[in-house]
Structure 1
Amino acid sequence: MDGVIAPLKDICDVVEKHGAILFVDDAHATGFLGPTGRGSGEHWDVMNRIHLVNSTLGKALGGASGGYTVGDKLLVSMLRNTSRPYLFSNTLAPSVVGAAAAAIDLVDNPVTRKPLLDQLWSNASLFRMRMSDAGFTLAGKGHAIIPVMLGDARLASKMAEKMLERGIYVIGFSYPVVPKDKARIRVQLSAAHSTEQVSYAVDSFIEVGRELDVV
């Protein structure tokens, strides 16, 4: 919710000190964090220190449903045999599996990966820079998820409505999804966005922000 990348190196140190098991939910990192898009573990160069990774076939991989857990063979086997959400779920639709496989191929191929990642981080940098210059308060850093902090739940909802009127689909988050007085609009940049679209989104934020006395 805050666009913050977990300090996995420090967490790994604590885990190893106490002989614990590290489980990482990487849904907001799979496909684009790290030099080859393998997520938070690759970003911090600690992939071999993580016991289990849980992630999604949605979000950066673009699927409508489905996810996965990877890790030690014995741990994964235990989950398959004891995890109620797994035991009582249906098999993924073939179309979802096919789309996810194609998305992973795009991420895994340096020829297709590099321009997509370059565009993503260029979009994120442009959005953060222009929004900060305009006077908005932003959370997080180094991530393509950029929360625009507003504080008031009603204000976040109103701003989201006015952004939608301008063709920008963003969602206002408020308590209990986020802490009280920490309402925000969470913006998720994508490599599919053009520079012009990002600039239009910022222009719309500034226009609405002035209308609602946010900036």
Structure 2
Amino acid sequence: MTRPRSSHAVSAMPSPLAWLGEVEAQRRDAGLRRSLRTRPPVGVDLDLASNDYLGLSTHPAVIEGGVEALRTWGAGSTGSRLVTGNTELHEGFESDLADFVGAESALVFSSGYTANLGAVVALSGPGAVVVSDAYTHASLVDACRLSRSRVVVTPHRDVDAIDVALRDRTEERAVVLTDSVFSADGAMAPLRAMHDVCRRHGALLIVDEAHGLGVRGTGGRGLLHEVGLAGASDVVVTTTLSKALGSQGGVVLGPAAVRAHLIDAARPFIFDTGLAPAAVGAAWAALTVLRAEPWRADDVLRHAAALAGVCGVAEVPGSAVVSVILGEPDVAFAAAAACLDRGVRVGCFRPPTVPVGTSRLRLTARASLDADELALAGRVLTEVLADARG
């Protein structure tokens, strides 16, 4: 007969979570500990950290669009889109957004993250190779891991490396992944050259336009539209509704056959609750504002150039993102804290988000910045960066 273990023996066992304390100490020593920062509903600091590039998250028409959808359709979508979560609102927005960016069709997901997971995994698989830029967003990295494909990671924006990976593959199918505008440094992908290589080797190009939509292209239609690849039959676009459109959610755009396949095969679409109507209504209202006020995209770039000049960044930004590399994590963290103490909120990117030795301040321009706000940013950033750079 087996004797029960004594309560003393059980209590002497180490906690299965004891290792977390050691990991936290290591992160703290390396200057990589993260924490949540609560903000009030009405910010008192100048915001140069959010991704609200067009300043639409608080636009009256956008708020009203969300409220009206809430009143009409309720607080939640009530189920997956294959069950009860698909509404006329979802499909109307999909049609309008596809028309705006020049795609044949669109499919809304609950977030940009799930849109990337759904698109990449459903369009790759064991019989494919996935070629991914080293700096793609974490959602694309996770999609690669879930794809069950062979994955080749190529150096940042290296078209020759993509060419080699596609040329040397043994798989019948190939998928190439890139951001159109990279989130950490604001650099733009060489989309035209990448597409030429993909077409030569029969590969599908998937482009994440999260930071391109609303900023690049005519009236903010995205970088693919700008370089003449909108609607290409061998290109799939993913994007988010949480940046330029000021709401929440994700979208995959491309050929109608891709939309039909994702409805059948994309697990984050099939098994996730549909995006809440209020988010869809707000995003659609933001798209309507952008159509009526295309100058917002130009203002983002103009303000980004002004911020770059103040920070001593030599290259004129091609996006809303201004990257100010300071080197070590503690230096970047201290500089971000000093900016906030002076009333300006900026982003702080440290490893593993960026490579070791390139910790930085990440500033984001908004179309809605006014002259007084730009002047305040100039004064604060000049003071803080002078101290940080010694």
TM-score of the superposed pair, with normalisation by structure 1: 0.89
Identify the residue that residue 8 of structure 1 maps to in structure 2: 191
Map 1:18-167 to 2 at 5 A.
18-49=201-232, 51-63=235-247, 65-109=248-292, 112-114=293-295, 116-132=296-312, 137=313, 141-167=317-343
How many residue pairs end up in the alignment?
206
SS at match of 2:344: coil
Give, in angstroms, the shift of residue 199 of structure 1: 2.3
How many Å separate the matches in 1 of 2:375 and 2:197?
42
Give, in angstroms, the shift of residue 211 of structure 1: 2.9
Q: Aligned match of 2:348 in 172, 184, 199?
A: 172
How many Å separate the matches in 2 of 1:140 and 1:180?
24
Contact 2:231 2:254 in 1 (8 A): no
Identify the residue that residue 47 of structure 2 maps to in structure 1: none
How many Å separate the matches in 2 of 1:83 and 1:113?
33
CA-to-aligned-CA distance 1:168-199 (integer Å, 9 cap, x gap): 11121111111111111111100011122122
Structure index of larger Rg: 2
Give, in angstroms, the shift of residue 202 of structure 1: 2.2
Identify the residue that residue 126 of structure 2 maps to in structure 1: none
How many Å separate the matches in 2 of 1:77 and 1:159?
48
What amino acid is the match of 1:147?
A: S
Higher helix share: 1
CA-to-aligned-CA distance 1:122-141 (integer Å, 9 cap, x gap): 21121122222xxxx56773
CA-to-aligned-CA distance 1:98-127 (integer Å, 9 cap, x gap): 110011111222xx222x234222211211
What amino acid is the match of 1:160?
A: A
SS at match of 2:204: coil
Contact 1:145 1:187 in 2 (8 A): yes
Contact 1:139 1:148 in 2 (8 A): no
How many Å separate the matches in 2 of 1:140 and 1:90?
41
Contact 1:3 1:140 in 2 (8 A): no
Larger deviation, residues 74-83 vs 42-51: 42-51
Contact 1:22 1:52 in 2 (8 A): yes
Give, in angstroms, the shift of residue 208 of structure 1: 1.4
Identify the residue that residue 204 of structure 1 maps to in structure 2: 380
SS at match of 1:23: strand
Larger deviation, residues 18-27 vs 161-170: 161-170
Say what the alpha-carbon RMSD is for the aligned residues.
1.7
How many percent identity over aligned positions? Answer: 32
Give, in angstroms, the shift of residue 209 of structure 1: 1.9
Is the alpha carbon distance of 1:139 and 1:183 closer, same or farther for their aligned partners in structure 2, counting shifts above 3 Å? farther
What amino acid is the match of 2:294?
A: R
How many Å separate the matches in 1 of 2:364 and 2:199?
33
Contact 2:300 2:365 in 1 (8 A): yes
Larger deviation, residues 157-166 vs 123-132: 123-132
Larger deviation, residues 41-50 vs 78-87: 41-50
How many Å separate the matches in 2 of 1:29 and 1:201?
24
Larger deviation, residues 185-194 vs 88-97: 88-97
Structure 1 runs of 4+ with >4 Å offset: 137-140
Q: Which runs of 5+ in 1 are unaligned?
A: none
SS at match of 1:68: strand
How many Å separate the matches in 1 of 2:321 and 2:376?
18
Give, in angstroms, the shift of residue 43 of structure 1: 2.0
Contact 1:3 1:139 in 2 (8 A): no
How many Å separate the matches in 2 of 1:141 and 1:40?
14
Greater RCO (CA < 8 Å, at least 6 residues apart): 2
Larger deviation, residues 181-190 vs 35-44: 35-44
